[in-house]
Amino acid sequence: MSEPLETRIVVPADIDSIEDLYTFLQDSLEFPGWFGRNLNALWDCATADINKPVCIVWPRHWSCGNPYHYLEAIRILDVLNEASQENPNLKIEIVE
């Protein structure tokens, strides 16, 4: 039997707020309605609620539209990277 196809989710470069990033991730990854839009909730959902192979494609030099949001965006990426070590259905790809 063949492996299921991986869904690729590309983070749009025009997302310009952390709230919009959480909304994009919730919608794209089909997180439940109770998703709390914070790092702890992201970890919980990314490790437990992604049940199909998915690859999140993250732009390397993306700043979330605002340099002040950059650190929070990097924290989100770190959580997703760590979650990918726990959940074999999740992969992260960083692109130029």
Nearest to 47 by CA among 71, 82, 1: 82
Q: Are 45 and 32 a contacting pair, CB within 8 Å?
A: yes
Domain boundaries, the chain: 7-95
Question: Dihedral, CA atoms, 34, 16, 24, 2, nearest 10 degrees?
Answer: -140
- Class of the CATH domain delimited by 7-95: alpha beta
Nearest to 77 by CA among 53, 89, 61, 65: 61
pTM of the model: 0.90
Q: How confident is the model at residue 1 (pLDDT cuts 50, 70, 90)?
A: low
Q: Each residue of 3-52: pLDDT tens digit?
A: 678 999 999 988 889 999 999 999 999 999 999 999 999 999 999 999 99
Indicate the helix (H) or strand (E) that contains 8. strand 7-10
The C-alpha atoms of residue 77 and residue 94 are separated, in whole angstroms, by 10
